[in-house]
Structure 1
């Protein structure tokens, strides 16, 4: 047999098959084939068709990226053409309304627009405003529902409280921070969920001081000095101890201790370092509790055991809190 012949990419072949699929109404195949053709050679005549195919096959983000790659610096372009309108339409379809509005303002400020172009821009702007208004109304309703639900949060089950704290993610920072502080001060909100609220504060980069009720005491927490639980040195040291001292001997037990250690830290956060202290001793005693060993040689064994038992009681009580 002779050597295998490798055919080069065929722009015309892909394009013809794509156009045929388009005529037959198979838009997915048309988008795929024409996309392959444009990957070989981009022609101004075919680009708009490909973008519209991406729109029709519900791929607006891919369309936006394609346009930006095809015409870099589109916002600074000197002339207003069909590609600009397609770009704005794709941004709207991708629900990127902020960037769509920026593009609209940029085009309106160019001046010297024909009546048709100005009218098209007005239509696109009206579409953006309609969606922005709908989103604002939706957000206001969500905020109202969240505010109403907060009144009885202390009497709710753990699951209901958990659902509530998850909903807070839709709120703007200012509104979120006010509710977050009230939840952190509320004695009826479970400690695990207070940890979740604090982590939401960190995700939002809210570097401020916030009040909280922890173990019956009101404290002030400086968020700018706080690390996410899994980034703390205590968590890293405890995890390293499990990997180095337990995992090779008993992988199953290592996973059990890993889960319990994380739960313990979650219940103590953000004051876990004050409670645990020497993490190696804590982990060693936790291991001995599971394996039935003695605590000879540990000066603080009794104190650590009492703390662990107290936390384990809270973990056990958590099961009844799910009802």
Structure 2
């Protein structure tokens, strides 16, 4: 009594169910059942069918991983068997067009290639070109839409400006650079989004010297000297201070201060140190404001309160855009 009953793994049963589902045209179910059979035994006669099912059910990456496990040297091979063609199709489906083209070219040079295989490789090559052309057309259309939308961007509410800023990621570096430069000079583009655009420059590895208008006046900004906001000295010092001096005493307040501090820095970046000369003093005042504690009345605190209030007002206006 109480002994565990172990049921044997049923390779034949899984395989029959999978093949029946395949004959019925239910590829999703066929992949599921044949996958269970393959997990028990990777039979050479059924493996190509399973790899094909993975690709037909939008699992090209998984099929490629399995092919590379079975044939670690396949990228250096010039063979043209079923696994090779599934490998080439997997590359195409996963968007690795350059690799797919390179692998197809290598196999087209295989000595003694049959007419059937030659035709199949040419068909795959045509498929690569067709998908590449389609993607290029879509990209060009999207780029045109983004460039046209710039004309009216300064009349749009914040949430639409925010969507637009995200769409800039779809542009090539040269297009992005020219458009982003104009946007950084646009007085009516929200300051928060200018911070986003600067970060996009950094993410692309572009570090030009720009003319910007972030807070009214025009000035030069050398991105070679700029780091992402969360890597700035001001941000790091602020987060450390919040954890060491506030979090243990009042976790809820620490969370609010951390969020508020980050939003304020987003409005000041990358010139945050011009406004925040002392991070501890700034955060102490911010804590008193958020906790409703009366101020000391000292001139230094009053100056910081005034700066924080101006930033908070801009944030309130920001959320009022929605």
Same fold (TM over 0.5): yes
Quick check: 2:191–2:267 contact (8 Å CA) kept in 1?
Answer: yes
What's the RMSD between the two structures over aligned residues? 2.4
Match of 1:233 in 2: 233
Q: Are the structure 2 counterparts of residues 43 and 135 from structure 1 closer, same or farther at C-alpha, using a change threshold of 3 Å?
A: same
Q: 1:39 to 1:264 in 2, by over 3 A?
A: same
Please say if 1:94 is aligned against 2:94. yes
Q: Distance in 2 between matches of 1:271 and 1:176?
A: 23
Specify the SS of the correspondent of 1:258.
helix
CA distance in 2, matches of 1:247, 1:110: 67
Change beyond 3 A, Cα 1:132–1:306: same
Confirm or deny that 1:317 pairs with 2:317.
Answer: yes
Structure 1: gaps spanning 5 or more residues: none
Distance 2:211 2:69 in 1: 48
Secondary structure at 1:292's aligned position in 2? coil
Distance 2:257 2:104 in 1: 57
Which residue in the other structure is 1:160 paired with?
Answer: 160
Gaps of 5+ in 2: none
User: What is the Cα deviation at residue 280 of structure 1?
Assistant: 0.5
Whole-angstrom CA distance in 2 between matches of 1:78 and 1:34 = 29
- Look up the match of 1:119: 119
Alpha-carbon separation, structure 2, partners of 1:3 and 1:313: 70
CA distance in 1, matches of 2:28, 2:315: 52
How far apart, in 2, do the equivalents of 1:46 and 1:224 lie?
56
Q: Distance in 2 between matches of 1:151 and 1:99?
A: 39
Structure 1 residue aligned with 2:138: 138
Alignment of 1:291-302 (within 5 A): 291-295=292-296, 300-302=300-302
Cα distance, 1:182 vs structure 2: 1.1
Report matched runs for 1:302-313 at 5 Å: 302-313=302-313
1-structure distance, mates of 2:23, 2:140: 46
SS in 1 for 2:207: coil
| CA offsets 1:281-301 (integer angstroms, 9 cap, x no match) | 0000111223222326x6732
- Pairs within 5 Å for 1:52-71: 52-71=52-71
Q: Secondary structure at the match of 2:210?
A: strand
TM-score of the superposed pair, with normalisation by structure 1: 0.89
Alignment of 1:32-51 (within 5 A): 32-51=32-51
Q: Distance in 2 between matches of 1:104 and 1:295?
A: 75
Superposition deviation, residue 306 in structure 1? 2.4
Q: Could you tell which deviates more after superposition, 30-39 or 50-59?
A: 30-39
SS of equivalent residue, structure 2 residue 220: strand
Q: CA deviation at 1:187?
A: 1.5
Q: Tell me the secondary structure at the aligned position of residue 256 of structure 1.
A: helix
* C-alpha contact (below 8 Å) 1:247/1:254 kept by paired residues: yes
Q: CA deviation at 1:204?
A: 1.4
CA drift of 1:279 comes to: 0.5
Q: Which residue of 2 aligns with 1:259?
A: 259
- Identify if the C-alpha distance between structure 1 residues 110 and 226 changes in structure 2 by more than 3 Å, giving closer, same or farther: farther
Q: Distance in 1 between matches of 2:79 and 2:231?
A: 50
Residues 112 and 274 (structure 1), Cα distance of their counterparts in 2 relative to 1, 3 Å cut:
farther
Contact kept? 2:61, 2:94, Cα under 8 Å = yes
User: C-alpha separation between the residues in 1 aligned to 2:112 and 2:299?
Assistant: 84
1:280 aligns with 2:274: no
**CA gap 1:248/1:293 in 2 versus in 1, 3 angstroms:** farther
TM (normalized to structure 2)? 0.89
- In 1: Cα distance, 2:206 partner to 2:97 partner: 25
C-alpha contact 1:208 1:223 (8 A) present in aligned 2: yes
C-alpha separation in 1, matches of 2:160 and 2:142: 16
